[in-house]
Structure 1
Amino acid sequence: MNEATSGKKLKKISYADVIISFIVVGVIGLIIVPLPAAVLDFLIIVNLTIGFNILLITLFTKNVLEFSTFPTVLLITTMFRLGLNLASTRLILTQGNAGHVIDAFANVVTGSNYIVGIILFIIITIVQLVVVTNGAGRVSEVSARFTLDAMPGKQMAIDSDLNSGLITEDQARQRRKDLQREADFFGSMDGASKFVKGDAMAGIMITLINLIGGAVIFSLNGDLTVGEAFAQFGKLSIGDGLVSSIPALLISVASGVIVTRSDNSRSFGADLADDFTRNPILFRIIAVILFILAIVPGFPFLPFVFIGICLMGLSFFIKQQEEKAIIQQKKEEQKLALQRKKEQQEEEESVSAFQVEPISIEIGYALIPMVDSSVDNSLMNRIVAIRKQSAHELGILVNPVRIRDNLYLEPNSYSIKIRGNEVGSGEIYPNKFMIISQGEPFPFEGQLTKEPAFNLDAMWIDERDRDAADLQGFTIIEPLTVIATHLKEIIYNHASELLGRQEVKKLLEGIKDQYNVVIDELIPDIMRLGEVQKVLQNLLDEQIPINDLASILETLADYGLVTKDVETLTEYVRQSLKRTISAKYADGNHSINVVVIHPKIEDIIMQSIQKTATGSYPVLKPETVSQILESLGNTHQHLMMENIPHVILASPKIRLAFRKLISFNFPDIAVLSLNEIPNEMMIETVGSLELQ
């Protein structure tokens, strides 16, 4: 059935292509084939209809990509009008008649006075050529340049949303495609505006040719006197010019509308209604001004008073609608508050209400609207996306994130807690946008802050400054993205704390249908569930994904009979996951940049390792630790300045101990052993740790 549906769709598209091909060829044919007056009348009406249709499409278009064919349509309609001009010129010069439509425009619009018609035609041409087309062309040129300049920043924003789990790979690919299409559209419009300008100039030339050529031909043939010829062909020429210039003016206005739109979320009518009715007090001020002008001697009284009364009534009507909306919003908030109160009462009656959640978010009252699940882009939906991404990238099932309001917090503050303890906090403003510093002072008036996830210098700006910040290349982050990114980083950094025995049991039950043999062999005969949990937690502590559970369990089953030491078993598991680990830190050439440890340091650490009930730790002199950390800090800073990603390469015997030694000062530096790098992976030494 799917294949049949697809076939029908392809067939429909091929029919459309054939029809469009015939239409385009037919437009070219108008230049060659003579047309009867009746056919010309029909095509002129079609041309006028197309002009109205294109103008209305641009008014109802929410995004320029919804009418991405507009530049090509502009070319085809221009050729269509020129073809009609040539067909009408042929009839005017050969028969002295161009059909009923041109005659109607000549008599009705111009009032049977071709001098008036000439003036109207000149005015329409000036408006189209000098005002509309010139302005639209300039806007297209500037928009094309600004769109290209802003592309790197927008692409970074797309990558940021993808990395934070807010969008999928397919959505990111579509956004990049739309971004490129938008740049192509404005670039095409920059050139397509020249078609309209050339069309207007051609219309002037054709009108002059019809007037002068027709008068000369028919006066020389003796059919008409010179005065009669100029009167007759002046009327026909102006009628023909008006018939072609009016649709051209409609399409010029449409091109101006589509390139001057700044809001890509709603239609022009909806934006215009909001802009004009946002402050009804302005209508009252204008009404008072009109009332004053009405009583000024010499001014017409009734028109000023009538319009003033209409504006005053409209102002009171808008104010009444706003009050109704506020009352309705308060009712919804009260309903939501009662529902939350009921839920809290139900929780208080249950034992689970007294237990802390694995992970939760507390928010101030100003952030409550962001949690509304009925809205498509809400915090609840972002959290669902983050949980899915965490499961895909880390291999853990994150418990549902509990969100509750906290009246003790500041209105715009939030707090992220794990097991009831705060691990992160910040402030967000729902009606503002965050921009990240590029190492230079912010050229806007806003509220300085720190990006909570990565502690970068940032600023909250108003929506009116968003376009300017985008054009200047700043990375713009929406409020929901700020808190979602912060939550994702906390989940990744505290993944081991979120993995309890219950979560491990769910993971094993999820793969038991496929790997029941290894699970039954391992648990409980070789290892207990808690021991498996500790191995998985050790992996997550160093950002190693556990989504290859089958390999992990098989390794534990192989070595679980040899040793029960969790740290040793973790090292064996890491060796079995060497391709996963090395791929995490390798570049595009399958090469890993490593910082090696001097053998003297390795000997010192190896001799100082002491086993305790909580694990193995190196016991070194404070001055030795300071020298190691200082050497590592200098090497790490040098490589970061040269933008060289790197890891520390240690021998398998001291890898874990060295990792624990530097984890507090350098938590983001990975420590690998030689056994964790596959043979096909290239190793490039970029630094060395040595004692002074």
Structure 2
Amino acid sequence: MNALFSTLRTSSASHARLIAGPLLIVMVLAMMVLPLPPFLLDLFFTFNISLAIMVLLVAMFTTKPLDFAAFPSVLLFATLLRLSLNVASTRVVLLHGHTGPDAAGRVIEAFGHFLVGGNFAVGIVVFLILIIINFMVITKGAGRIAEVGARFTLDAMPGKQMAIDADLNAGLIGEEEARQRRRQISEEAEFYGSMDGASKFVRGDAVAGLIIMAVTIIGGLVVGVMQHGLSVGDAGRAYTLLTIGDGLVAQIPALVISTAAGVVVSRVATDKDIGQQMASQLFSNPSVLFITAGVMGLIGIIPNMPHVAFLLLAGVLGGIGWMMLRRQQQQAVQTAQARPAVAEEVASAAAAEASWDDVALVDPLGLEVGYRLIPLVDHGQGGELLQRIRSLRKKFAQDMGFLPPVVHIRDNLELKPTEYRILLSGVEVGRGEAAPGMWLAIDPGGAVTPLEGTQTTDPAFGLPAVWIEEGQRDAAQMAGYTVVDASTVAATHLNHLMHRYAAELLGRTEVQALLDHIGRDSPKLIEDLVPKTVSLTTLQKVLQGLLAEGVAIRDMRAIIDALSEHAPRLAVNGAQPDAGELLAVVRRALGRAITQQLFPGTGEMRVIGLDVNLERVLMQAMSSGGALEPGLADMLLREAEAAVRHQESAGDAPVLMVGAPLRQSLARLLRLHLPQLSVLANAEVPDDRNIRVTAIIGGQAR
């Protein structure tokens, strides 16, 4: 029963939310047509003021513009509500304005008498000032910011999409997060576009308020003099005060909502709301407060100045600055007190006797950073690079089929402050620079606008790049650059090198862990393979051979099945079968996956082929000892490079197809000079794929 009541309450609440919007529109339109008594006018005017205050507070407490994505619609409804109230109150003023100052309700009476002292001339001046502030200052500025923001957001969308694709391909984010970021970019563009149009509502509301006031005053004079027999002065005084009260009670909420619109579009998206941003940035430096207090104090002692106001404010600012200075000094003392404890701990560790604990093994994969990059890898400071490396290892495991070693991170004072280097088994394999707080604008090939900054190259792929400031980020994205932060630069470089040296990252420990992982589901399969059929070392060599040529080992079942079937046949006199022969067998078993990786889909495969005479010469060389003559090797590399250029210019994958006996030897030779060239055996291609040879190597070697 309780569950039934809960379901009914939930259903009723959802239905109420569905009809709230249409019901509000109907009420707004009804107020324009149906006459309202003064009591209802008071209620609606009060609701209008409270709505404006709520909108302003929500805008102040949001941390990102999209946190208040409904603001353009709220702005439209608030504008319609104010205009409908203007129409309803104007009708009451013209019908009953001759009866007294409370003819249109207590709220209009209060605004007409209390706020402007019952003086209609003062009321007109105040009303016009509010119109000018709202129309010329706040609304015009907010509209301009929204217009520029919409333009920049739309122009920056391609660059942001490219940055998301780069993070996704580098393994820094998952598919779900990539979809969420793309959706956020689309929503941000739609929001600024809506704000650009919604700002016109407020501007039109200000103009309409001014026209309505003039029309109501003229209409009141006509109605009071001609219909109710009042004198021109009495009619002007009665109807003008009511009109001014009506205008003020509508324009003050309009000014509040315009301010909220300016706050929403002018704020910079951070993890703090606008109040926290202002407090933390205006009052963060005690020197600024001391200087301001001194200036106020000097002005306060000038003769004929209001000494109390200036000196009181100077004292308040000086007190706030002194409190902030004391707090900073206490933090500095705490930091200084912590240093001797750390130094003592280091000294005691140095004085201890040496032991086997002091023998440090070489890390399979390491990252060393300069001291300015330490915050990026410090967990206590929310190191962004640490999170990216965790995501990177997870993406690598999903792509390649095994979990890479943990990346051991340490600082190195011998490096430049913004420099890092990547180590593989203690040997440097990559080095680069990452400037914290700056952005790297990478030219993917289509950017034509030069940028101001420090010229450099992308450490991962060697593309031309520029280190730029935060303020140039949107301009760089609009110019066609791919813009990434410092942590993404280092993470992308690490990811590139991990894929490049994947074979060396697969040690015996990783192979055994991989077998244990598979053995939990199929223990008999593993028992029949290792060590009965092949040794762990042989299996490691086969898997490393696949990884060295960019072939993932995700399909371990197919690899194990192929080894279990062919390894006994390839074994000679009980010895372990040759790893190279096993590699060829496994590649044939994975042929469909390898082909799909190189040529996605089911279309035609456009490949590079070998001249028949050259293939015969290479076969003879391999059969006689495996060494090539220097001239033949140079010619092979030269023509292979030309064929790769031809394939890439035509938009085809650089893939060389050869006979199975030549594949492994040619792949080993060409991989050293042309790592982008893949060598595929014709036996590895599925029967349902069509092949076309678009370039020939050795066509002139006759």
Query: Which of the five TM-score ranges fits, normalised by the shorter chain?
Result: over 0.9
SS at match of 2:568: coil
2:560 paired with 1:553: yes
- What aligned pairs does 1:79-118 form with structure 2 within 5 A after superposition? 79-96=80-97, 97-118=103-124
CA 1:66–1:391 in structure 2 vs 1: closer, same or farther (change >3 Å)?
same
Query: Which residue number in structure 2 is paired with residue 307 of structure 1?
Result: 313
2:478 matches 1:477 = no
- Structure 2: tracts of 5 or more residues without a match: 98-102, 571-576
C-alpha change, 1:9 and 1:469, in structure 2 (3 Å) is farther
Question: What does 1:222-233 correspond to in 2, within 5 Å?
Answer: 222-233=228-239
Distance 1:328 1:152, change over 3 A: farther
Given candidates 238, 249, 269, the residue that maps to 1:263 is: 269
CA deviation after TM superposition for structure 1 residue 76, in Å: 0.9
Q: Which AA in structure 1 matches 2:59?
A: T
Which residue of 1 is the match for residue 100 of structure 2? none
Query: In structure 2, the residue corresponding to 1:180 is in which secondary structure?
Result: helix
SS in 2 for 1:167: coil
Alignment counterpart, residue 240 of structure 1, candidates 214, 223, 246: 246
Amino acid at match of 2:665: A
1:668 aligns to 2:681 (yes or no): no
What is the rounded CA distance, in whole Å, between the counterparts of 2:327 and 2:131 in structure 1? 44
Q: CA deviation at 1:393?
A: 0.3
Determine which of 281, 301, 309 is the counterpart of 1:275.
281
Structure 1 residue 675, shift from structure 2 partner: 2.2
Name the CA distance, whole Å, in 2 between partners of 1:691 and 1:22. 80
Q: How many angstroms does 1:379 deviate by?
A: 2.9
Task: Give the equivalent residue in structure 2 for 1:579.
Answer: 592
Contact 1:592 1:646 in 2 (8 A): no
**Matched residue SS, 1:360:** strand
Deviation (angstroms), 1:619:
1.7
Point out the more displaced range, 347-356 or 360-369: 347-356
Aligned to 1:615: none
Bigger mean CA deviation after superposition, 328-337 or 631-640? 328-337
Number of the residue aligned with 2:436: 430
Matched residue, 2:73: 72
Once residues 669 and 2 of structure 1 are traced to their aligned partners in structure 2, the CA distance between those partners, rounded to angstroms, is 65
Could you tell me which residue of structure 2 aligns to residue 174 of structure 1?
Answer: 180
Q: Residues 533, 68 of structure 1: CA spacing in aligned structure 2 closer, same or farther, 3 A cutoff?
A: same
**5 Å matches for 1:495-514?**
495-514=502-521
CA contact (8 A) 2:639 2:697 kept: yes
Letter in 2 for 1:222: H
CA deviation string 1:565-613 (max 9, x = no partner): 211111111111122212212245644332222222222222211598x
Q: Distance in 2 between matches of 1:131 and 1:15?
A: 39
- The CA distance in 2 between the partners of 1:459 and 1:332, in whole Å, is 40
Tell me whether 505-514 or 104-113 shows the greater mean CA deviation: 505-514
> Cα distance 1:135–1:298, how it changes in 2: closer, same or farther (>3 A)?
same
Residue 440 of structure 2 contacts residue 465 of structure 2 at CA under 8 Å; is this kept in 1?
Answer: yes
Indicate the larger mover: 386-395 or 375-384: 375-384
Matched, 1:34 2:35: yes
1:365 aligns with 2:371: yes
1:544 equivalent to 2:541? Answer no
Q: SS at the partner of 1:547?
A: coil
1:517 counterpart = 2:524: yes
Q: Is the 8 A contact 1:610 1:619 kept in 2?
A: no
d(CA) in 2 for partners of 1:328, 1:588: 63
Alpha-carbon deviation of 1:5?
A: 10
Q: Say if 2:443 and 2:481, in contact at 8 Å, map to a contact too.
A: yes
How far apart are the structure 1 equivalents of 2:589 and 2:337?
60
**1:387 counterpart (393, 414, 427):** 393
Q: What do residues 15-65 of structure 1 show as CA deviations (whole Å, max 9, x unaligned)?
A: 311233322322222222222111110110110011111111111111111
Structure 1 vs Structure 2 CA RMSD: 2.9
Query: Is 1:607 the counterpart of 2:620 in the alignment?
Result: yes
Q: Which moved more, 1:499-508 or 1:209-218?
A: 209-218
Look up the match of 1:134: 140
Task: Say yes or no: does 1:528 pair with 2:535.
Answer: yes
Tell me the alpha carbon deviations over residues 236-262 of structure 1, each in whole angstroms, 9 at most, x when there is no partner. Answer: 001000111111111111111111122
Give the structure-2-normalised TM-score: 0.91
Q: Are the counterparts in 2 of residues 652 and 675 from structure 1 also a CA contact under 8 Å?
A: yes
CA distance in 1, matches of 2:236, 2:64: 49
Residue 357 of structure 1 deviates from its aligned partner by: 1.8
Cα 1:61/1:676, change in 2 over 3 Å: same
Secondary structure at 1:596's aligned position in 2?
strand
Superposed displacement of residue 87, structure 1: 1.3
What CA distance in whole angstroms lies between the structure 1 residues aligned with 2:515 and 2:424? 24
Query: Is the contact between residue 605 and residue 657 of structure 1 (CA under 8 Å) also seen in structure 2?
Result: no
Superposed CA offset, 1:159-215 (max 9, x none): 111122221111110000000000001111111111111111221222222212122
Structure 2 residue aligned with 1:629, among 637, 644, 661? 637
Which is worse superposed, 396-405 or 298-307? 298-307
**Alpha-carbon offset, residue 340 of structure 1:** 8.5
Q: Which residue does 1:449 correspond to in 2?
A: 456
Counterpart Cα distance in 2 of 1:621 and 1:308: 89
TM-score by length of 1: 0.92
1:598 is matched with which residue? 611
Tell me which moved more, 23-32 or 544-553: 23-32
SS in 2 for 1:182: helix
